[in-house]
């Protein structure tokens, strides 16, 4: 591992200054569960690691009428241990609860999961289906990017030189809505998704018809995928096996997986169809309360 300096600023401005000075030879660190593995494997050769956990905004987790704000450094366990978050955003908790094991969840968070930009990131699809937005600070100011646009390829993001993810802002879910995420892995815990599916549905007040839906897919493309056609197909339709199967088939069409050690193209596309159907049903159940 290339020896790097440890920097622990207490403000966003200081962190941005260090990141900007070093360019791609510096990285922000939240839980470090991806960063230190990559540094040790010499995937990244770093001169500086910027620990962002002393910056108050990046450690903030708050929930209110404006929605949910998740600081970029908030670890998974704080997300799923928060009873208000668990009640209002169970789909996000689904993802946060299955990233690594307990040790990893003590450190790793959704901000790091997003910035690591693995196609398989279990935390990302739930944020996409909730229409979450990434708040970014950088040398030329602040900007916001929709989470579905954040990853641009495997391990690649929209973050430019000196830019830092500050928080993820999740809108307050509409009435009669629900969300769910699951993945397929060959064991119960501690594995990387062969395929994953997140679903958000909003029902009408009768609970019998979809008003809108968003569906996102993990591990079946170079980035997490927002399967817009699949989600849009449910809008205005009744909740039944036929409409759900049609959306699941469209989700399968949106998947562009590769064959690798975890699974084949055929298996992954099949998984997307099956998991999409299951997650729509679970999201509907949650929407109906």
Partner 1 sequence: MTTNSPSKVHVTTTINGQQHELLVPGYMSLLDTLRELIGLTGTKEGCLDGNCGACTVSVDGRIVDSCLVLGAEVNGKNVDTVEGMATPEGLHPLQQAFLEEAALQCGICTPGFLVAAKGLLDNEPSPTEGRIRHWLAGNLCRCTGYDKIVRAVQKVID
Shortest distance, position 209 Cβ to partner 1, whole Å: 37
Pairing of strands 141-146, 133-138: antiparallel
DSSP bridge partners of 240: none
Q: Mask 213-252, x = binds partner 1 (CB under 8 A)? A: ----------------------------------------
Binder of partner 1 out of 49, 147, 194, 234 (CB under 8 A): 49
Shortest distance, position 86 Cβ to partner 1, whole Å: 17
Tokens of 225: 């995928």
192 or 272: CB nearest partner 1: 192
Whole-number CA gyration radius for the chain: 19
Q: Are 39 and 5 in contact (CB under 8 A)?
A: no
196 or 257: CB nearest partner 1: 196
SS3 6: strand
Shortest distance, position 77 Cβ to partner 1, whole Å: 7
SS3 113: helix
Residues 97 to 156: which contact partner 1 by CB under 8 A?
100-104, 106-107
Phi then psi for 282, rounded to 5 degrees?
Answer: -70, -40
Residue that has been written with the tokens 């602040």 in this structure: 142
DSSP bridge partners of 225: 217
User: Rounded to whole angstroms, what are the CA distances from 26 to 20, 21, 114, 137, 146?
Assistant: 8, 8, 18, 16, 24
45 or 142: CB nearest partner 1: 45
Q: Which stretch binds partner 1 (CB under 8 A): 44-52, 132-140, 214-222, 250-258?
A: 44-52
Q: Are 97 and 86 in contact (CB under 8 A)?
A: no
User: Does 27 help bind partner 1 (rule: CB under 8 A)?
Assistant: no
43 or 235: CB nearest partner 1: 43
SS3 135: strand
Shortest distance, position 107 Cβ to partner 1, whole Å: 6
- For helices 241-254 and 265-288, angle between their N-to-C axes, nearest 10 degrees: 140
User: Does 204 help bind partner 1 (rule: CB under 8 A)?
Assistant: no
User: Does 189 help bind partner 1 (rule: CB under 8 A)?
Assistant: yes
Cβ neighbours, 10 Å, residue 229:
13
User: Does 13 help bind partner 1 (rule: CB under 8 A)?
Assistant: no
Binder of partner 1 out of 4, 89, 200, 210 (CB under 8 A): 4
Instruction: Provide the binding-site residues for partner 1, judged by CB under 8 A.
Output: 1-8, 25, 29, 31-33, 36-37, 39-40, 47-49, 51, 53, 77, 100-104, 106-107, 188-190
């Amino acid at each position: 591992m290339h020896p790097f300096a440890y920097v622990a600023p207490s403000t966003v401005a200081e962190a941005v200054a260090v990141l900007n000075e070093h360019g791609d030879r510096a990285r922000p660190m939240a839980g470090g569960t991806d960063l230190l593995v990559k540094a040790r494997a010499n995937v990244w050769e770093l001169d500086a690691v910027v620990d962002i956990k002393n910056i108050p905004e990046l450690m903030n987790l708050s929930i209110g009428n404006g929605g949910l704000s998740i600081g970029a450094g908030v670890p998974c366990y704080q997300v799923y241990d928060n009873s208000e978050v668990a009640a209002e955003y169970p789909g996000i908790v689904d993802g946060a609860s299955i990233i690594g094991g307990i040790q990893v969840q003590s450190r790793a968070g959704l901000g790091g999961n997003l910035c690591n930009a693995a196609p398989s990131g279990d935390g990302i699809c739930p944020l996409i289906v909730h229409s979450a937005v990434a708040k970014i600070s950088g040398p030329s100011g602040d900007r916001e990017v929709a989470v579905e646009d954040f990853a641009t390829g495997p391990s690649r993001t929209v973050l430019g030189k000196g830019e830092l993810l500050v928080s993820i802002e999740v809108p307050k879910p509409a009435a009669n809505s629900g969300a769910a995420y699951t993945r397929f892995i060959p064991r119960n815990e501690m594995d990387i998704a062969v395929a994953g599916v997140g679903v958000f549905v909003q029902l009408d007040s009768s609970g019998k018809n979809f008003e809108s839906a968003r569906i996102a897919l993990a591990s079946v493309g170079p980035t997490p995928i927002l399967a817009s056609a699949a989600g849009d197909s449910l809008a205005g339709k009744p909740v039944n096996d036929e409409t759900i199967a049609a959306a699941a088939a469209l989700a399968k069409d949106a998947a562009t997986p590769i064959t690798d050690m975890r699974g084949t193209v055929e298996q992954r596309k099949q998984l997307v169809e099956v998991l999409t159907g299951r997650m729509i049903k679970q999201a509907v159940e949650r929407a109906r309360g």
